[in-house]
Amino acid sequence: MSEINPADAPPVAKPPHEWEIQTFALMVAAGCAAGLGILLLVSDLAVRAYLLTGGADGVSALVAWILDNGDAISALYLMLGFGYLIGFFIWRRRTRALLDSVGEANSPALWHWTVGAWYLGLFTSFMIRANNPAGTPAQTPLTFGHDTSSQAEQFASWLAWDAAQIGARLIGLTFLLIAVWQIRTQVRERVAASGVIFRIRDIAPRPSAVPLPAAARPVPVGAQPSGLPMADEDFWGRVAALATGRRAEVAMLETTDGLARRWLVVPESGDLGVVRSTVAPGAVVTAFPESPDAGETKGFSPRPAEEYHGFLEDTESGAVWYQSVKPNRVGAFLARARRARRWALYPADSPEALTAVVPWSH
């Protein structure tokens, strides 16, 4: 059995980097809140034990530090609580939009049973807090060494209820972390199955799709493609006029052997030196008058066609990628284009395009 060269393997579709970062940030916020909750739980139980034993065993250095910094820890715990709660619903909305863009509307990947368990944990913690018969710390003042027995018992009761509330919330946070992890896994699987590559740099150039440099290609034997004009000086003059007239770069598609395609970019100055020295003899070149767009894809609807030529320019590297797009994959292409520096979608039969065949000797 022959081995598969990893370089020839098809790229695996992955969710956008932005979504992965948001997912990680949500998990970090929930994890930090859980860590602070554990500290508060430990302090509640330790102080309660101190009160019930009359301070016989004292308090540890850790508990003393938690008590000294209790206000700051509680404030940070509260902020993180609001942060991961609001962050979860924002993240879930963006996850829904991500799945919609790959044709997974109302996808079950948005749900995991642990989300319901987290909701239950939150509800339980709120109910415990609301039904704490000991009231609030302000109603149960305590001064170590100067408190009455009834005050100590009342405050110990409040601490027990507070510990139960924190415990319920910690259980809920555990389920939340599991839920985000599982939903992330499910979303990754859906995106991979859809084949929609959001990370343009992951579109690896295949040997069959990227023509060799002109100097490295042998001149094939046979007739030139029929029915198309030659790329003579008049043709190149009209291509240059497209760029200079619009004062913008023009996308030119080079097709060799009928299948291999790549994009060339004509500068707005109309200088064709680099382009003409790059195109291969016998190639079919097509210049499209509409320049690649850096705008939003929302609301874009292409002219009906049986096939489209997709233009994608990577935001970081500036590399330009070609993609053949069928009508039923226009939505997936636009989802990918939202993360490109520039993009364009040209009908394969565009009547405005300038098309010609490069002579074998040019």
Tell me which amino acid residue 95 is: T
CA distance 361 to 316: 37
Q: What is the pTM of this model?
A: 0.60
What b/e readout covers 256-279, taking b as 16+ CB neighbours within 10 angstroms? beeebbbbbbbbbebebeebbebb
- DSSP for residue 293: B
Whole-number pLDDT of residue 35: 93
Q: What is the residue type of 178?
A: I
Answer for the pair 88, 176: CB distance below 8 angstroms, yes or no: yes
**How much is the average pLDDT of 162-176?**
94
Whether the CB-CB separation of 162 and 44 falls below 8 Å is answered with: yes
Residue 68 has a pLDDT of 85
How many Cβ atoms from other residues are within 10 Å of residue 324's Cβ?
Answer: 14
| H/E segment holding residue 88 | helix 70-101
* pLDDT tens-place string over residues 96-146: 988 887 777 778 898 999 999 999 999 999 999 888 776 655 544 445 445
Query: Which of 232, 254, 251, 235 is CA-nearest to residue 243?
Result: 251
CB of 33 closer than 8 Å to CB of 173: yes
Using alpha carbons only, how large is the chain's radius of gyration in Å? Answer: 32
pLDDT at res. 26? 95
For the chain, the domains span: 11-198, 214-357
Give me the phi and psi of 321, to 5 degrees please.
Answer: -120, 145
The residue whose two tokens read 């990754």 is 188
CA 14 and chain centroid, separation:
8
Please report the pLDDT score of residue 258 as a whole number.
60
- With beta carbons less than 8 A apart as the criterion, state whether 224 and 282 touch: yes
**pLDDT tens digits, one per residue of 203-217:** 544 433 344 454 444
Q: What is the pLDDT of residues 326-344, one digit of tens each?
A: 888 888 888 888 888 899 9
CA dist., res. 248 & res. 267, Å (int): 7
